Amino acid sequence: MAADDGGKMAGLHDGKYVLTATQKGAIGESVVVSALLRESGGRLSPFYSIADDDGIDLLIYDKETGVAIPIQVKSRTTTLNRPGTTKPGSGVHFEVRTAALREFDDAHLVAVLLNGDMNDIRCSWLIRMQVLASVARVTEEKLVIRPNSAKSSLDKFTPFRCDTAQGLSFRLIKAAEQLAARSSKKKKPAA
């Protein structure tokens, strides 16, 4: 149903404004939040960080286990060009500031490739921050990963790849269950 705006909205998206990187990041976080709520059937409950100065964008609370997983979301809408061409390939470039690698034992990076309309996840990678430095190219200020989004890819990021939003939700639930199991072992008094 079209709004009766007297033609005032015809030029709403006329190219005058372009989304900033910050705005695209906020959209990426919102898409991840929506996907986790939907695909977990409400089991996962995401909470936004008011100030993400520690590199944590969201806390993902698992209602079943009672644990929360801190995550940083990085999103992209395009893939890298194939080497020597201007044709899109299947590699995706993500950067994480080294300052974000604080000592959060169970923090994860959720790197997502969004569709062109920025309203759905094409592919994602869930990587524990403790593991990230071992698979990334490390510079003084950032860690760079370039995972391949092709389902047939067997790159070093394949073990972290989630081909669907449901897969990402499933892996976060498994991470919450593992964290809950580790926490319960720590709480048990010595016999």
pLDDT of residue 1: 47
* pLDDT per position as a tens digit, 58-108: 999 999 999 999 999 999 999 999 999 999 999 999 999 887 666 667 899
pLDDT of residue 17: 87
Strand ranges (DSSP E) for the chain?
A: 44-48, 58-62, 67-76, 94-97, 108-114, 121-128, 137-138, 142-145, 161-162
Over range 166-186, report the average pLDDT. Answer: 92
Return the SS3 of 59. Answer: strand
pLDDT of residue 91: 96
* pLDDT per position as a tens digit, 106-145: 899 999 999 999 999 999 999 999 899 999 999 988 999 9
Whole-model pTM: value is: 0.87
Instruction: Domains for the chain: give ranges and CATH numbers.
Output: 21-178 (3.40.1350.10)
Average pLDDT, the chain: 89
Tell me the sheet residues that pair with 125. Answer: 111, 161
pLDDT of residue 9: 56
Over range 158-179, report the average pLDDT. Answer: 96
pLDDT of residue 11: 55
